[in-house]
């Protein structure tokens, strides 16, 4: 699965990138037969648990982005590095750092048993994914691009990053989990 990774020069391009990745990830998880979607036979989290995880982390960022800009400046200050990195610049470094992570802490999904109604449960998880991405996009829409480049926040793996970098990292995180499942299922 090849994702449409690209840098976004404008807020509109950033929103379009979010929508493209939202659709591609949703389509991938939707394409899995229910048995594969809920199976733990591949080791680690099931596809359902990966979907729960990326929906949760995306939702958290979407909520955070709806806070006023001045709160980010108050709590985290202005971005101190020379310039904000673009997605294609962040990608390799982020995937290397993610490979070192052994525990997702509070972001670890509960064990998802095979549900009584797998079709309905999968539809619910796919809806949660779409809602979390729509929430992220709504959050992005509240920001001016200049503020995304000047405000920062802490990232659990990458330290302090700009808001724009955080949005990219959220997308890369979801891609990472989708690719994990793709590799496990389609070795």
Task: Tell me the mean pLDDT in the region 69-80.
Answer: 82
What confidence tens digit (pLDDT) does each residue in 127-167 have? 999 999 999 999 999 999 999 998 989 998 998 899 999 99
pLDDT beyond 70 at 124: yes
Within 10 angstroms of residue 160's Cβ, the number of other Cβ atoms is 15
Phi and psi based region of residue 180 (left: phi greater than 0; alpha: psi -120 to 50; beta: remaining): alpha
Q: Tell me the β-bridge partners of 162.
A: 152
- pLDDT band per the 50, 70, 90 thresholds, residue 82: low
pLDDT beyond 90 at 54: yes
Rounded Cα distance, 16 and 4, in Å: 10
- The pLDDT of residue 14: 97
Please say whether the dihedral angle defined by the alpha carbons of residues 178, 180, 181 and 186, taken in this order, is positive or negative: positive
Please say whether the dihedral angle defined by the alpha carbons of residues 96, 101, 105 and 111, taken in this order, is positive or negative: positive
Q: Three-state secondary structure along 109-124?
A: CCCCCCCCCHHHHHHH
- Residue of 93, 91, 79, 65 whose CA lies nearest to 149: 79
CATH number assigned to the domain covering 11-108+116-185? 1.20.120.450
pLDDT beyond 90 at 103: no
pLDDT beyond 70 at 107: yes
Percent of the chain with pLDDT strictly greater than 70 = 98
Of 52 and 75, more confident: 52
pLDDT beyond 80 at 174: yes
Q: Tell me the β-bridge partners of 116.
A: none
- pLDDT band per the 50, 70, 90 thresholds, residue 37: very high
Q: CA dist 81 to 54, 62, 64, 84, 151, Å?
A: 28, 24, 22, 7, 11
Domain boundaries, the chain: 11-108+116-185
């Amino acid at each position: 699965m090849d994702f449409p990774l690209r840098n976004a020069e404008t807020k509109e391009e950033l929103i379009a990138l979010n929508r493209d990745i939202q659709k591609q990830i949703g389509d991938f998880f939707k394409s899995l037969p229910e048995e594969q979607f809920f199976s733990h036979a591949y080791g680690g989290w099931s596809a359902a648990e990966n979907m729960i995880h990326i929906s949760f982390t995306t939702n958290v960022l979407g909520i955070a982005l709806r806070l006023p800009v001045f709160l980010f400046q108050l709590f985290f200050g202005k971005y101190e590095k020379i310039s904000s990195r673009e997605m294609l610049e962040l990608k390799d470094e982020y995937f290397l750092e993610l490979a070192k992570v052994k525990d997702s802490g509070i972001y670890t999904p509960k064990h998802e048993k095979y549900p009584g109604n797998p079709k309905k449960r999968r539809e619910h998880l796919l809806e949660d994914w779409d809602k979390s991405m729509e929430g992220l996009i709504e959050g992005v829409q509240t920001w001016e691009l200049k503020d995304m480049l000047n405000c920062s926040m802490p990232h659990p793996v990458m330290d302090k990053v700009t808001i724009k970098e955080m949005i990219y990292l959220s997308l890369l995180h979801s891609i990472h989990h989708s690719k994990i499942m793709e590799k496990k299922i389609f070795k």
